[in-house]
Chains A and B, each alone.
Chain A
Amino acid sequence: MNWVLNAFIFLPLVAALLSLAVPKAARGKFAVFAGIANLAIGVYIWLSGIAFDKFSTVIDWLPGLGVKYAVSTDGVSLLLSLVTALMVPIGLYYLTSRDDGKLSAFYPLALAMETGILGIFAARDLILFYVFFEGTLIPSLFLLGRYGRAARVQALTTMALYTVFGGLLMLVSIIGTKLLSGSPTFLLEDLLRGVRQIPEWQQVWLFLGFLVAFAVKTPLFPMHAWLPEFHGQNHPSGVADLMGTLYKVGGYGLFRFALPLFPDVANNYQWIWMLLAAFTAIYGAWIAFAQTDFKRLLAYSGISHMGLVALGVFSLHPAGSSGAILLLAFQGIYSSALFLVVGMLERRFIVLEGGDESKEKALDRALEIGRVRGLAASAPAFAGVALLLWFASIGVPGLAGFIGEYSILLGAYQANPWIAAIAVTTVIASAAFALTAYQKTWYEEATHSVADLSRREWTVLVPIVALVVLFGVYSAPALELVKPVVAQLYGIVLEAKK
């Protein structure tokens, strides 16, 4: 047993519990510190070399049931974990600048979510995965319920219903897979050994169980309906949305479990899964065009991204699958950051609202796209950073979004040109909605004058911008992590490193 990985997973949860003992005023700082410490552990694992097996832990948990506590990491898990560990302290640090004394429960909840998400990426036992997968929902719902906006109860119920329903089907599939494959445990490797014996019609049903659960969490059409409400109703700072973005692990689940367990199903009905994903991509981008609320716009943009991620996974092509993981990882950086940008905008706009309006109405107006225009004149640096993040998000080459998007579409094209062509139109649609929203906010005649980025906002955005540019140009470190895992999945012998 190696303590490092376990520390990486559970340090945030421990810190969350400890923070309850910390005075409320210092809780934010404590949480940020814990987040940074955890990131340091993650970086240590990363730097320790490519053989990540040494960090594995497998011990019996519920021996009678064949459930084990099994965690491990590899390039894919680590990349996604690192992004999570990076974005959480950044988000929490931004949150401290908005702390009005009522946010003291926010920090522990966010840290608890971090442990859940890191656990999802590390779990190698399906029941353990299920526990992390569903368990993360709890702090996420509490965040929405405690800090959300007026219609949060609705949003919360919708989300809970979808997720629980999907999760239940997955649980049935997990149990079914074990029973039918005759595996002694719920370990992924044990299941993989026996799964081929299962008749194909049964595999289809098991696969669908996983698919529905992951389609909810990804989200894929038509299981996406909870997401716009979730983002629309969450705390206006955008930090809860950031956590929600990191929690969109459906694409990872498909890649890690659904695909290796049921490759034949994925392959034989490939066009159905690809079409679903491609449709989600273009559908999200298109609807985003008509959105008038910043957060709902980003929600639909995220749905579009996730459609692409799923498309990459289902392309069953090494380039497409690698692209899916890379897009999932990098969008965790820039999509999350865009939510923070919206939070920063909201903070400026809410000041412009006055009068006798209710807080809720003022918030509605503050999040309305195009009501305040021409910000580039008074806040040029903010405008530049926002533009860069938008460009990253629509996959402009030279920025991090491109690597994944391009590889996905290329892989998808090799599998099915027609469906890939549908997905490629996303490139146009996303430019249309992103630049329209950008123009309405930053360009044109200035309606108001706002402050440029504050020192703290700079601190939040600089590492994000740096990474988005760095990985957009120098993607090699991320490729090094992802390629071996994908190569193993497809049985490709990698070229020896020169």
Chain B
Amino acid sequence: MIVPPLVGWLLLIAFGKRLAEPTSGYVASGMILLSFVMAVLGFAGTMGLAEGKQWHVQLWEFLPFIGGEGKSLHMGFALDQLSSLMTLIITGIGFLIHVFAIGYMHGDSGFSRFFAYLNFFIAFMLVLVLADSLPILFIGWEGVGVASFLLIGFWYKDFNNSNAARKAFIVNRVGDAFLMLGMFLLFKEFGTLNLHELRESFGSINVPLVGQVTKNVVAFGAPGLELACIFLLLGAAGKSAQLPLSTWLPDAMAGPTPVSALIHAATMVTAGVYLVARNSELFAHAPVASSWVAWVGALTAVYGAVSAIAQTDIKKILAYSTVSQLGFMFVAVGCGAYWVGIFHVLTHAFFKALLFLSSGSVIHALEGEQDVRKMGGLRGALPTTHAVSLIGTLAIMGVPLLSGFFSKDAILESALKSPFFDGSKDAVGSINILLFAVMVIVATMTAAYMWRWYVLVFSGEYRGNAHPHESGAVMTLPLMILAVLSVIGGWIGLPHFLGKNANLIEPFLEKVSANAKGMTELKGIVEFIPLICSIIAVIAGYFIANYFYRRDGARIMAEVPNGFGTASRNALFLDKVYDFVLGNPSRVAAVFFGIVDKSGVQGGAQLLGEQVSEAGSSLSFWQSGFARGYGVSVLIGTVALIAFLIVRGFA
């Protein structure tokens, strides 16, 4: 499955220049289609897999002594229910993006290069989800980081783009450092980094460790396990743009193509959610770390939503929306509802891909304009784009029966049911209610800022001066497919009150993911509270957005942001704070250490060197520097040997 995109990448890197423009796009898309077919076959296969089983291939030795007892960690891949669902999302959405990009990148001088990077990205994303151990997952993890560096910096001549690329990579590396620490600690505690063995080790009694006595299984809530899970969380926060490592994503989206923006939004950033879901057995045994996951998610959801409200860049709104939606997913997995997190990954992939591609289509039509204040009234000029955008907007707002509704509802429900706070089996705890309330407010804000997005772009009168035109079929066809999926995608995860068998995705994923013990059972009317709140949130958000933004164009253009607006537009100034607190001091320290090293440590050495040189040159038979240095060496060495000889002789 990984092979076709890799082949495509190699082909395009090697022969990219010689291929005519659309050909490389076809080659790349074809490779992804091939992968998609394999993913479908794999998915069909895993449907029949029993619980705890997986398809596993183990290749050659990869890392020395990292398998315990003199064994090496092997390069290996595994396919189970969770990973096969992820491969479907990655290759399916990936294929549609590829096709869309054939139209969007038309005429760009780096056409082949772009498709090479896309293929590269998909290949490593597949490595990430198919890895059978954490270090192999880490290959994919950093590989997509490299791909994102290349894609964000695709138009590298622009200083902002190349800066954003570098920032994304470095911020991700902060997360990666924590992920590494997490892996090291897991190895210390469990003696293995194989995902399957980690999962299984909760059932067994002893885990053999390198050079140590066997150690008992890590208990529920053990400090080592909690800490390891928190490390994993921080690692996941880097890739999934959660607080405190969220600042790279909006920058990464603002500059380059919507296509690459999307590939981040729909696939790469969900890697963090995948990481938690993949290690669900660990997190299910680590209540403290899990509640951290949930609260990090909740805070990020608030942060993203607040930041999205006053943005003026069509893609930045969606970028902060992505940050916020990822927060939702973290809440789900932090509450022990691992299948819900992945369910939202799936539906979000549909509607966010749709929205990003639609905005790409808008930007394409307006010849590069990205400021929503200069849009409006595009309903007439771009009928197809408008229709699919409306579906996407309604889906993300959570309008009943569309995909976002079901997954968001499930998340709200899981916030109430989570066993990791103060709730018990029979009663909902107060912290659960607090978390639930926060998420309902965020859902309201989501509806508000998305409807604002829609209103500013499509309704009212056109406020710009380009000549909008609808995109060609190669771009609109993927949009339509995604629109259909955004509508029906949620139907695989219907709520429980519609019948026991209404939910298809939960039993499928629960074969591989843990089930947090002690979920509160919601009874009677309480069962419908999440549903009702979620519908209220949509309606409230709709009216708020209409109240503020459905008005004439001149006022929108003249709008001066108030205090809240400024804070929102600057994403709560997080960037500036980081630069002030971390960036500047470390730059200054680097220069300072550089000077100290040069004048202090090396200066001292040089002073010594000069002294000796002068002493040497006063002995006039050593003329040049190297002879002097060498001469001293030979002299001292010889003296020492002779001294030894003498000592020996007397001894």
Query: What count of chain A residues pass the 8 Å CB interface test?
Result: 95
Verify if B156 is at the interface (C-beta below 8 Å from A). Answer: yes
Asked if B613 contacts A424 (CB within 8 A), the reply is no
Q: Is B183 a contact of A410 with CB atoms below 8 Å? A: yes
Does B45 reach chain A (CB closer than 8 Å)?
A: no
Q: How far does the alpha carbon of A164 sit from the alpha carbon of B66 in the complex, in Å?
A: 39
A158-B609, A290-B593, A476-B60 known; A486 vs B633 contact (CB < 8 Å): no
Q: A161 to B629, Cβ gap below 8 A?
A: yes
Answer whether residue A417 sits at the interface, using C-beta atoms and an 8 A cutoff: yes
| Chain A nearest Cβ from B467, distance in angstroms | 30
Interface string of A376-393 (1 = CB under 8 A from B): 110010001000000100
Q: How far is the CB of B634 from chain A (nearest CB, A)?
A: 9
Residues on A with C-beta less than 8 A from B210 are 317-319, 414, 492
| Residue in B closest to A412 when the chains form the complex, CB atoms | B184
Decide: B66 and A152 in contact? CB cutoff 8 A: no
B-chain residues with CB within 8 Å of residue A141 when the two chains form the complex: 626, 629-630
Binds B, one of A191-199, A203-211, A330-338, A428-436: A428-436
Determine if B188 and A427 form an interchain contact, defined as CB atoms under 8 angstroms apart: no
User: Which residues of chain B are near A134, meaning CB under 8 Å?
Assistant: 633, 637
B60–A474 touching, CB < 8 Å: yes
Query: Is the CB–CB distance between B630 and A428 below 8 Å?
Result: no
- List B contacts of A432 (CB < 8 A): 170
Whether, in the assembled complex, B217 has its beta carbon less than 8 Å from a beta carbon of chain A, the answer is no
Does chain B have a CB within 8 A of A482? yes
Binary contact readout B608-625 vs A (1 if CB under 8 angstroms, 0 otherwise): 111011000000000011
- A289-B590, A479-B64, A493-B70 are known contacts. Are A167 and B633 too (CB-CB below 8 A)? yes
The closest CB in chain B to the CB of A383 belongs to B156
In the complex, the answer to whether A287 meets B590 with C-beta atoms within 8 Å is yes
A65 to B590, CA, bound (A): 50
Does any Cβ of A come within 8 Å of B52's Cβ? no
Residues of A close to B604: CB separation below 8 A: 225
**Once the chains bind, are B63 and A319 in contact (CB under 8 Å)?**
yes
Whether A492 touches B637, Cβ cut-off 8 Å, given contacts A326-B64, A413-B184, is no
> Which A residues are in CB contact (< 8 Å) with B64?
318-319, 322-323, 326, 407, 479, 482-483, 486
Asked whether B211 lies within 8 Å of A492 as measured between CB atoms, the reply is yes
Cα-based distance from A493 to B177 in the complex (angstroms): 32
- Range class of the B interface residue count: 35 or more
Beta-carbon contact of A495 and B176 below 8 Å: no
Interface 9-mer from A98-106, A252-260, A268-276, A438-446: A438-446
Assess A164 versus B629: contact at CB under 8 Å? Given A398-B142, A427-B173, A475-B63: yes
Tell me which residues across on chain B come within 8 A of A64, comparing CB atoms.
648
What residues of B have a CB within 8 angstroms of the CB of A65 in the complex? 644-645, 648
Other-chain contact of A286, B185, B590, B624, B644 (Cβ < 8 Å): B590
Q: Say yes or no for A63: interface residue by CB 8 A criterion.
A: no
Residues of B within 8 A of A397 (CB): 135, 138-139, 141-143
Nearest opposing residue in chain B for A397, CB measure? B139
* Chain A positions within 8 Å of B587 at CB level: 289-290
- Chain B residues near A490 (CB-CB < 8 A): 211
Q: Does B69 count as interface, using CB distance less than 8 angstroms? A: yes
* Separation of A334 and B584 alpha carbons in the complex (Å): 31
Q: Which single residue of chain B is at the shortest CB-CB distance from A160?
A: B629
A58 an interface residue at 8 Å Cβ cutoff?
no
Q: How far is the CB of A268 from chain B (nearest CB, A)?
A: 17
Most B CB contacts (10 A, CB to CB) among A384, A427, A487 go to A427
Q: Give the Cβ gap from A43 to chain B, nearest Cβ, in Å.
A: 20
A435 touches B166 (CB 8 A): yes
- Tell whether, in the assembled complex, residue A225 and residue B605 are in contact, meaning their CB atoms are under 8 Å apart: yes
Q: Does B601 contact A (CB under 8 A)?
A: yes
Judge whether A475 and B633 touch: CB under 8 Å.
no
Residues of B within 8 A of A175 (CB): 640, 644
In whole angstroms, how far apart are the Cα atoms of A228 and B600 in the complex? 14
State which residues 148-175 of B face A: CB under 8 Å.
149, 153, 156-159, 162-163, 165-166, 169-170, 173-174
Contact call B605/A486, Cβ cutoff below 8 A: no
Chain A 172-203: CB-based contact to B (< 8 A → 1; otherwise 0): 10010000000000000000000000000000
A159-B629, A175-B644, A444-B162 known; A391-B156 Cβ under 8 A: no
Residues of B within 8 A of A225 (CB): 597, 601-602, 604-605
Judging by beta carbons under 8 Å apart, are A403 and B597 in contact? no
Partner of B632, one of A146, A160, A396, A474: A160
Q: Does A157 contact B (CB under 8 A)?
A: yes
Asked if residues A407 and B66 are in contact (CB atoms below 8 Å), the reply is yes
B628 at the interface (CB under 8 A from A): yes
Q: Is the CB of B601 within 8 A of A222?
A: yes
With A160-B629, A162-B605, A283-B593 already in contact, the answer to whether A492 and B187 are too (CB < 8 A) is: no
Find out whether the CB atom of B630 lies under 8 angstroms from the CB atom of A157. Answer: no
What's the Cα separation between A420 and B178 when bound, in Å?
A: 12
Q: Are the CB atoms of A446 and B601 closer together than 8 Å?
A: no
List the A side residues contacting B466 at CB < 8 Å. Answer: none
- Does A37 sit within 8 A of B, measured CB to CB? no
Q: How far is the CB of B208 from chain A (nearest CB, A)?
A: 12
B72 at the interface (CB under 8 A from A): yes
Partner of A157, one of B139, B181, B613, B645: B613
Chain B residue contacts of A480, Cβ below 8 A? 61
User: With A318-B210, A319-B64, A414-B184 in contact, do A157 and B628 touch (Cβ < 8 Å)?
Assistant: yes
| Chain B residue contacts of A286, Cβ below 8 A | 586, 589-590, 593
B47 at the binding interface (Cβ < 8 Å): no
Q: A287-B597, A427-B176 are in contact. Are A156 and B626 (CB under 8 A)?
A: yes
Tell me the complex Cα distance, A64–B645, Å: 9
Complex: how many Å from CA A461 to CA B602? 33
Instruction: Say yes or no: A409 contacts B72, CB within 8 Å.
Output: no
Check: B206 CB closer than 8 A to any chain A CB.
Answer: no
**B591 close to A (CB within 8 Å):** yes
Asked whether B573 is an interface residue with its Cβ less than 8 Å from the other chain, the reply is no
Q: How far is the CB of B306 from chain A (nearest CB, A)?
A: 28
| B597 and A439 form a contact (CB under 8 A) | no
Nearest neighbor of B212 in chain A, beta-carbon distance:
A414
Q: Does A137 contact B (CB under 8 A)?
A: yes
- Report B49-77 CB contacts with A as 1/0, cut-off 8 Å: 00000000000111111100111100100
Report A163 CB to chain B, min CB distance, Å: 7
Q: Is the CB of A410 within 8 A of B159?
A: no
* Chain A CB within 10 Å, residue with most, of B145, B163, B166: B166
A-B contact pairs, 26 of them (CB 8 A): A137-B633, A145-B624, A153-B626, A154-B613, A171-B641, A175-B640, A287-B594, A319-B66, A326-B64, A380-B113, A391-B146, A397-B142, A398-B124, A406-B135, A407-B63, A409-B184, A424-B177, A424-B180, A427-B177, A431-B169, A436-B166, A439-B153, A474-B60, A476-B60, A480-B61, A490-B211
List 9 additional A-B contacts (Cβ < 8 Å) besides A318-B65, A407-B64, A443-B162.
A64-B648, A144-B626, A153-B624, A157-B628, A158-B605, A414-B210, A417-B185, A446-B157, A483-B65
**Using a CB–CB distance below 8 Å, which chain B residues touch chain A?**
13, 60-66, 69-72, 75, 113, 124, 135, 138-139, 141-143, 145-146, 149, 153, 156-159, 162-163, 165-166, 169-170, 173-174, 176-177, 180-181, 183-185, 187-188, 210-211, 586-587, 589-591, 593-594, 597-598, 601-602, 604-606, 608-610, 612-613, 624-630, 632-633, 636-637, 640-641, 644-645, 648
Nearest 9 A-B pairs (CB), nearest first?
A: A160-B629, A145-B626, A153-B625, A413-B184, A443-B162, A322-B64, A290-B594, A318-B65, A157-B609
